[in-house]
Amino acid sequence: MKSLVLLTTAAVLAASVPAAAQDAPVRLNQLGILVDGPKRAVLANNSKRPLPWSLIDEQGRVVASGRTSVFGPDRWSGEHVHQVDFSGYKGSAKSLTLKVGDDSSRPFSVAPRIYDRLPYDALAYFYHNRAGTPIDASLVGERWARPAGHATERATCVSGADSKGNLWPGCPYTLELGGGWYDAGDHGKYVVNGGIALWTLLNLYERLSASNSRLFADGNATVPERGNGVSDLLDEARWQTEFMLKMQVPEGTRLRLPVGAKQTTPGLTFTDIDASGMVHHKVADEKWTPLPQRPHEVRERRVLFPPTTAATLNLAATTAQCARIWRTIDPAFSDRCLRAAERAWAAAERNPEVYALADFTGSGAYGDDQLGDEFYWAAAELFASTGKPAYRAAVERSPAFRAPVQGEPSWPGTAPLGTITLATVPNALPPLEVERLRGQIRAAADRFLAERKQVGYALPFAPASGWTWGSTSNILNRSMIMALAYDFTRDSRYRDGVIDGMDFILGRNPLDRSFVSGYGVRPMQNPHHRFWAHSLDKALPPPPPGAISGGPNSTNMSDDVASKLKGTCAPQKCWADDIHAFSLNEVAINWNAPLVWVSAWLAEHQQDR
């Protein structure tokens, strides 16, 4: 019953958070500070000279002191910033205050373990957002229980005229598509975004297995399958895998699809192709549903979107992972996954240029016109699982195999996933090649750490083009890369970088906000979500603990809330805790998955110096 205790504790914490806790000028991780790690705080102050700081315990005694480091003007926060490093304090305490000049922090703790609960709450996000099954009060509490959304779901392909007047012919079949995870604030289920989220959870399982970790051992997490002798992490991942398998096109199917076109324009040419083994891009509501909306009350017709090469490769990659992970756990399921993966790979090779162009309302596009990274990723997973020469050849002819890891993983940028797998999962590559790939990961981590010097809040994230939609996931996916670099080297710089990233997400930021619901004094409370919508309907719940907001976004401010901030906010301050702010405050599976991965890694490395 460990996870229920953890969840209940977090729920009480979430319920007790004031609606608008007062802003504190001295910004720190609101969950606390690790004894065994860097201890940093940030203050916005216009003084050009260092300021004195004192760390004061509960009895009013000064236990450490020093002077700030003046960072100066910070383009990302729009502030003149002072940094405080009190890493010299080696004690632990439940209630410390950091006084900097005339300003003081809230009381905070320095403790040896602060991340024990977060991995479980972050994983519970996925159970909360399962489609096709009731969400059980005995697991999540009455507040978040609900009937099954889309308890039965059958759909055929969208057809007719799109927004550009192209006439889509549809498909000659209907598929049963129950299960899976709702993607984000809406009720769409997307293979492309589901793919990277699923990979992240499965990769975490492989990493934990390699270290004989007990995290997510059967019975520890909030899933109805607990007690079946299988890791709770795999139970959750299988729910999505089973759905994605249903999205594969039946054998012997020919469809008319646009081939080669990368943009939706009037006059698309449709070509008759063998679509057997390809994968449908998504299933979603025909029209956007309003806020709020309980999943079981949705009456909008569900439509299936045409298969795409990107979705096909996402299935190939993740079911190849499935095949090796379940090989000894459930051999029949493993074989089913491998058959699906190899069918998908063959279909993608046969149809390498079918892009997501069906431009109909009601769901996100998730369009991607550069698929070399998906081919590399899928080939890497298939090679790691089978060792077959054909997949090795596909890996080695990909430019991504030799190229540096350019950035953090993302749903349209999946090449790092292939490199991570080849560098960490036992495979038939020569040891020197595996070490070279690990070097690519370390080099990327070094570049991320170097960016920390450019940011007043000491964050290893300084994007040249501004802060993007889902910026918190960029930070977390970078943290995964740095965590792997630490695993390879035991160099504490990388661990410090991971901690800095999580410090920012949990409160050491210019907004003095935690972007994770239920965590910290000022957590996100009003995500863009149709069911977690208490700000619109008091009968509906707030988010449960462990959901992460997409975070600041200065480059795509497309909702009504964000558009009013456009041009008036520094990149790190372009955010609002508002249910209507979908470009700033949505939640999504591909953002919560790296929160699970990174918080689990931190839970294992809290005392590691």
Domain boundaries, the chain: 2-115+487-604, 149-429
Peptide bond into 292 cis (omega under 30): yes
Contact predicate 578/482, CB 8 Å: no
Q: Give residue 11's pLDDT band: very low, low, confident or very high (50, 70, 90).
A: very low
Sign of torsion, CA 421 426 428 432?
positive
2-115+487-604: CATH number: 2.60.40.10
Of 538, 535, 529, which is closest to residue 589 (Cα–Cα)?
A: 529
Contact predicate 244/280, CB 8 Å: no
Enter the tokens of residue 211: 């270290």
Terminal-residue alpha carbon distance, the chain: 31
Phi, psi of 365 (to 5 degrees): -75, -45
Q: How far apart are alpha carbons 334 and 326 in whole angstroms?
A: 5
Contact predicate 527/38, CB 8 Å: no
Q: How far apart are alpha carbons 292 and 183 in whole angstroms?
A: 16
Active site residues per annotation? 186, 528, 577, 586
Give me the CATH topology for the region 149-429: Glycosyltransferase (1.50.10)
Average pLDDT score over residue span 186-192: 97
pLDDT in tens, 157-166: 999 999 999 9
Burial letters 543-563, b for 16+ CB under 10 A, else e: bbbbbbbbbbbbeebebebbe
pLDDT in tens, 74-113: 999 999 999 999 999 999 999 999 999 999 999 999 999 9
Q: How far apart are alpha carbons 282 and 270 in whole angstroms?
A: 20
Burial letters 161-176, b for 16+ CB under 10 A, else e: ebeeebebebbeeebe
Residue 454, pLDDT > 50, answer yes
Q: How far apart are alpha carbons 373 and 419 in whole angstroms?
A: 10
Residue 9, pLDDT > 80, answer no
Burial letters 312-343, b for 16+ CB under 10 A, else e: bbbbbbbbbbbbbbbeeebeebbebbbebbbb
Mean of per-residue pLDDT scores for the chain: 95
Sign of torsion, CA 414 416 422 426?
negative
The whole-number pLDDT of residue 608 equals 83
pLDDT in tens, 35-75: 999 999 999 999 999 999 999 999 999 999 999 999 999 99
Q: Give residue 465's pLDDT band: very low, low, confident or very high (50, 70, 90).
A: confident
The whole-number pLDDT of residue 21 equals 73
